[in-house]
């Protein structure tokens, strides 16, 4: 014959607490099985099961999200207002930060605060805090254990979100890189990639490429990424800004000012796919935004003040309408930067459309070949320091720039038209060119451009 087992009130309460603990653990762990879950869902479970206030707070005690039992509409601001007067929850957070473990601290307003660290990738990210009034828990250990487990679930949720964001960022980077390098197999694939990035096929775009030259050794190192010490005070510590810091600032500049911009920063360059402004301005009556060259000038001016001594150069590719044309515009932007170096235009904005004949000259990999061509065409006129030819190359260049008019060239050079005629005659004698022949005039003009390019490089 069996006899009933008598259980004391204390044992019964302990059993209920254990069952409650298991129930809450299961609910919290089950949240991780859901595809979309946020920190608010975790604090909601705590508020409902523990009949407590629950919130996630940063190290600076700013509330990220919060839940209140039986008051679904009450938000973090309400908790913030009610708890700021009780400094004990800040004490609990500070103790949890020091120990790296959950901490229970009696509250001035009754009950107790429990603070548990939330770690992400082994780094302290925030704190989960609960406040339970007196009489709502059969055991002091129960809120401590549940809050600790919930903090671990919070860390897992944040880690999962970060992985998703990083994966999304990698996909986005791969799509941009694929378009810039022309890796799409066909137009349909390129269009699909561009649509994922928000490319507006109804507007023309240009590709801007920005590069950074670090300050020379004679330039003082920078403080706080280019920020000067206040009131002219001597900074206590100085450090040089890395190119990546400047390039990220370039990306931030464009994304903050131009809707629909697509940007990617990979040292040593920042690439910006920027839509040209609509001729009619914004649909909401907003003023017409600046065009790409003007914006590029602004970014150089702005970052020049923020990072003194850092040289930022921007090359702008040609206009493109289709995603398949982005690779061409990007290549043109890169070639424009090479021309900027050749033309001593570092620290400036240079557009591919404005390069003129230098668009072709920039394709010649060897400057020696260009110099040889100039010497073959112009002979001794291409040799510096030859007194017999002094002023002849300048006169010939001015003559071409004045549309082959001796009179206009004479006014520019402040000489008599007969002097221009004489000098042109001597050019023909020294070079063998016939300036009345189209082919000879064309070769001479190209050779003069090459000479100008060589002078800039030297």
* Alpha carbons 131 and 88: distance in angstroms, whole number: 10
**CB-count burial class (<10 Å; 0-12, 13-18, 19+) for 194:** buried
- How does residue 238 score in pLDDT terms, banded at 50, 70 and 90? very low
In the block, tokens 């320091």 appear at 385
pLDDT at residue 117 tops 60? yes
pLDDT confidence of residue 322: 93
pLDDT for 432-455, tens place per residue?
889 888 888 888 888 887 777 666
Whole-angstrom distance between the N-terminal and C-terminal Cα of the chain? 111
- The architecture that CATH gives domain 9-163 is 2-Layer Sandwich (3.30)
- The architecture that CATH gives domain 367-457 is Orthogonal Bundle (1.10)
Distance set, CA 432 to CA 381, 427, 441, 444 (Å): 12, 8, 12, 11
**CB-count burial class (<10 Å; 0-12, 13-18, 19+) for 72:** exposed
Nearest to 208 by CA among 240, 252, 254, 260: 254
Strand order in the sheet with 63-67: 63-67, 53-57, 123-132, 112-120, 103-106
β-pairing, 53-57 vs 123-132, is antiparallel
Q: What is the CATH number of domain 203-227+239-278+289-361?
A: 3.30.70.270
Strand partners of residue 27? none
Q: Taking the model in full, what pTM does it have?
A: 0.57
pLDDT for 191-225, tens place per residue?
999 999 999 989 999 999 999 975 443 333 333 33
pLDDT confidence of residue 179: 95
Domain regions of the chain by residue span: 9-163, 203-227+239-278+289-361, 367-457
């Amino acid at each position: 014959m069996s006899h009933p087992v008598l259980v004391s009130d204390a044992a019964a309460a302990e059993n209920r607490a254990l069952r409650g603990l298991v129930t809450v653990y299961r609910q919290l762990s089950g949240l991780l099985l859901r595809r979309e879950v946020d920190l608010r869902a975790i604090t909601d479970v705590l508020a409902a099961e523990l009949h407590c206030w629950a919130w996630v707070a940063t190290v600076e005690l700013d509330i990220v999200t919060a839940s209140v039992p039986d008051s679904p509409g009450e938000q973090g601001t309400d908790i913030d207002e009610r708890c700021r007067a009780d400094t004990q929850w800040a004490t609990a957070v500070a103790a949890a930060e020091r120990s790296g473990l959950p901490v229970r601290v009696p509250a001035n307003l009754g009950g107790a605060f429990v603070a548990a660290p939330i770690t992400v990738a082994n780094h302290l990210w925030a704190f989960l805090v609960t406040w339970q009034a007196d009489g709502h828990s059969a055991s002091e250990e129960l809120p401590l254990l549940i809050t600790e487990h919930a903090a671990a679930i919070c860390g897992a949720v944040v880690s999962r979100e970060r992985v998703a964001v990083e994966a999304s960022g990698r996909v986005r980077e791969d799509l941009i890189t694929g378009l810039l390098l022309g890796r799409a197999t066909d137009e349909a694939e390129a269009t699909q990639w561009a649509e994922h990035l928000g490319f507006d096929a109804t507007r023309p775009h240009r590709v801007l490429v920005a590069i950074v030259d670090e300050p020379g050794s004679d330039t003082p190192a920078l403080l706080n990424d280019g920020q000067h010490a206040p009131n002219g005070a001597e900074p206590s510590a100085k450090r040089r800004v890395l190119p990546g810091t400047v390039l990220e600032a370039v990306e931030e500049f464009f994304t903050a000012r131009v809707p629909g911009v697509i940007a990617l920063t990979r040292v040593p360059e920042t690439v910006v796919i920027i839509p040209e402004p609509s001729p009619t301005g914004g649909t909401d009556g907003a003023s017409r935004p600046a065009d790409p060259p003007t914006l590029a000038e602004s970014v150089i001016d702005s970052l020049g003040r923020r990072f003194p001594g850092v040289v930022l150069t921007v090359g702008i590719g040609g206009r493109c309408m289709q995603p398949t044309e982005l690779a061409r515009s990007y290549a043109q932007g890169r070639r424009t930067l090479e021309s900027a170096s050749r033309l001593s235009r570092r620290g400036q904005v240079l557009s591919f459309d404005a390069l003129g004949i230098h668009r072709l000259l920039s394709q010649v990999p060897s400057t020696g070949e260009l110099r040889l061509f100039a010497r073959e065409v112009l002979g001794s006129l291409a040799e510096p320091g030859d007194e017999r030819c002094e002023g002849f190359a300048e006169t010939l260049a001015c003559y071409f720039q004045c549309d082959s008019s001796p009179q206009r060239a004479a006014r520019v050079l402040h000489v008599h038209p007969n002097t221009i005629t004489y000098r042109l005659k001597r050019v023909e004698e020294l070079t063998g060119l016939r300036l009345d022949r189209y082919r000879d005039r064309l070769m001479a003009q190209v050779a003069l451009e090459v000479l100008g390019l060589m002078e800039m490089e030297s």
